[in-house]
Amino acid sequence: MQDMSGKTVLITGPTNGIGRATAVNLAKAGANLHLLCRNAAKARTLQEDLRKVNPEIEVEVLLCDLGDFASVRQAASAFEAKGLALDVLINNAGILNTKHVVRPDGIEEMFAVNHLGHFLLTHLLMPALLRAPAARVVVVASGAYLMCKTLRLDDLAWAKGFRPLKAYGHSKLANILFMRALAKRLEGSAITVNALHPGEVTTGLGRQNGWWVSALHRLASPFFRNPNQGAATSLYLAMSPDVEGLSGEYFDDCKVEVTKPWGADMNMAEDLWTASEALVGGVPSLFNSKAEVPK
């Protein structure tokens, strides 16, 4: 395993599933961890567990609900106040709703949490990423992007034709297109960004929808990966020297995978970027143009 001693990693959604396995392995590798969690009790338990895994590392908690943009701004400024260089940001948290949940701001919840919260967080952490010698942004997307070929920027509430897996796929397509547009802006900088599909993994994903999701997970578990296996590609992108300097790619099983055309549609990626800036209530103007980042 790669030695991550002295490196700082911020991971979202580490209290369960793939995120938890990723955090445990990063702790073993010696990384100092910043855990972005929405549940204080779960965060404290995880913090204690990780300190037992490796008593040498720092483990800090950032309480934040990614669906609440004020909370994202607060967590990012608490992190920024430490003045740390951020070596790795892992945008891992995610939800899968089977019910059609539209927030008061008219945005379907999966799009808000899975994409917009991370879009805002990544922008706000850019100064810390720029302080690191060669920072990496890892975006946990999903092969579910295959289920949604276009973005619904004109109907983010999914007023028409809501289907749970399609809307989940929509949020994951947004993850991939955000990665593509960010990579373009980061060209020539020391920061890389890549996305991944972790495989089908037995986790807590979707279990808030009812007992039957847990039953489905149990039935599928012999065929699914366990969280440790599911964390492999996230860990590869976060740590491996193999991907040094590589950016703008989508990975599956620790290998670059060519996406379907809609996963690399730069017009759609730019439209998403513009819409997301407005939807989160504005972001700092770190990028001078569509393909420039401060050196």
Ligand X SMILES: NC(=O)c1ccc[n+]([C@@H]2O[C@H](COP(=O)([O-])OP(=O)(O)OC[C@H]3O[C@@H](n4cnc5c(N)ncnc54)[C@H](OP(=O)(O)O)[C@@H]3O)[C@@H](O)[C@H]2O)c1
Please give the positions annotated as active site: 168
Q: Which is nearer to ligand X, 130 or 136 (CB)?
A: 136
- Beta bridge pairs of residue 37: 63
Q: Which is nearer to ligand X, 132 or 195 (CB)?
A: 195
* Footprint of ligand X on 99-128 (CB under 6 A): 113
Q: Which is nearer to ligand X, 122 or 142 (CB)?
A: 142
Is residue 169 a contact point for ligand X (CB under 6 A)?
A: no
Q: Which is nearer to ligand X, 134 or 212 (CB)?
A: 212
Is residue 194 a contact point for ligand X (CB under 6 A)?
A: no
Is residue 42 a contact point for ligand X (CB under 6 A)?
A: yes
Rg (CA), the chain: 18
Token pair of 107, please?
């945005």
Is residue 16 a contact point for ligand X (CB under 6 A)?
A: yes
Amino acid symbol at 215: A
Shortest Å, Cβ 22 to ligand X: 9
Is residue 65 a contact point for ligand X (CB under 6 A)?
A: yes
Cα dihedral 32, 114, 37, 42 sign: negative
Q: Quote the longest CA-to-CA distance of the chain.
A: 52
Q: Which is nearer to ligand X, 200 or 270 (CB)?
A: 200
Q: How far is CA 7 from CA 58, 95, 135, 136, 259, in A?
A: 10, 28, 10, 11, 31
Give the strand pairing for 192-197 and 88-91.
unpaired
Is residue 203 a contact point for ligand X (CB under 6 A)?
A: yes
Amino acid symbol at 225: R
The distance in angstroms from the start CA to the end CA of the chain is 31
Shortest Å, Cβ 104 to ligand X: 15
Is residue 18 a contact point for ligand X (CB under 6 A)?
A: yes
Piece of 35-43, 149-157, 177-185, 275-283 that binds ligand X (CB under 6 A): 35-43
Piece of 25-33, 34-42, 54-62, 285-293 that binds ligand X (CB under 6 A): 34-42
Q: Which is nearer to ligand X, 19 or 263 (CB)?
A: 19
Question: Are the beta carbons of 266 and 273 closer than 8 angstroms?
Answer: no
Is residue 94 a contact point for ligand X (CB under 6 A)?
A: yes
Is residue 95 a contact point for ligand X (CB under 6 A)?
A: yes
DSSP 140: E
Is residue 263 a contact point for ligand X (CB under 6 A)?
A: no
Is residue 252 a contact point for ligand X (CB under 6 A)?
A: no
DSSP 111: I
- DSSP letters spanning 216-251: HHHHHTTTSBPHHHHTHHHHHHHH-GGGTT--S-EE
Dump strand ranges (E) for 38-153: 59-63, 88-91, 136-140
Task: With CB under 6 A as the rule, give the number of residues binding ligand X.
Answer: 27
Piece of 62-70, 121-129, 242-250, 263-271 that binds ligand X (CB under 6 A): 62-70
Ramachandran angles phi, psi of 135, nearest 5°: -75, 155
Q: Which member of 26, 79, 126, 198 binds ligand X (CB under 6 A)? A: 198
Helix axes 117-124, 69-80, angle to 10 degrees: 20
- The residue ranges that bind ligand X (CB under 6 A) are 12-13, 15-19, 38-39, 42, 65-67, 92-95, 113, 140, 142, 197-198, 200-201, 203-205
